[in-house]
Amino acid sequence: MICSTGLLWDRPLMFSRLIEDCGARCEVITPYMLASSFWRGRFVLVIVPTGFANPAYSNLLPALRAANERIQRFVENGGRLLVFGAGCAREDAYDWLPFPVTYSFAYGPRAVQYTRESEYTSLFAEYDLAAVECDGSFPAHGGETLATSASGEALLVGKAVGDGMILVTSIHEYPSREFLKRFSCGERETLF
């Protein structure tokens, strides 16, 4: 079993320590690396953290848009992609994904309900489902809703693309250790 994660951000984050504590190798991928045509990495999972579209926190969104074909190829060839909330009121923040996702920014706790049993709902495993901090919801998308708020807002969306999987979530917490241990490990790495 291979455990490797790419964490997209402008600089190192504490998030990488959690990933490593869960048994996966973690490499920070900066926007310059992501947008570069000559940089290549191999990962099971690539994570786009909360706030990626908010220029007050990150310069990642232009690089994601420049690398949209690379990202799609990574997932189609078996890679896994975990994308968090954009962190600002931008409906177009997910236009670099290979399927439509509209985001509505609204920070606050939400009661989480699963729409069906799924290995991906373990993302919430260590949290009190009655009050999970979220930074928004996905009012329109081309994936499958896996978790909602009590009022029906989509909080976790999944979409199989080729041999891989994309998860988009508005949880404003780290994913559970159980989820990271499972989702960042696989039989093989995929070229990114």
Q: Kindly list the structural domains of the chain, giving each domain's residue range(s) and its CATH number in brackets, ordered by start.
A: 2-191 (3.40.50.880)
Q: Tens of pLDDT along 56-71?
A: 999 999 999 999 999 9
pLDDT > 90: percent of the chain: 96
Tell me, what's the pLDDT at 100?
98
Q: Cα separation of 134 and 29, whole Å? A: 25
Cα→Cα distances 145→51, 117, 139, Å: 21, 11, 10
- The CA radius of gyration of the chain, in Å to the nearest whole number, is 15
Q: How confident is the model at residue 167 (pLDDT cuts 50, 70, 90)?
A: very high
Residues 6+ apart with CB under 8 A from 181: 22, 23, 24
Closest CA to 9 of 50, 42, 68: 50
Q: Output the pLDDT for position 37.
A: 84
Q: Tell me what pLDDT residue 26 has.
A: 97
pLDDT 10s digits, 82-116: 999 999 999 899 999 999 999 999 999 999 999 99
Instruction: Give me the half-sphere count of Cα atoms (radius 13 Å) on the Cβ side of residue 186.
Output: 18
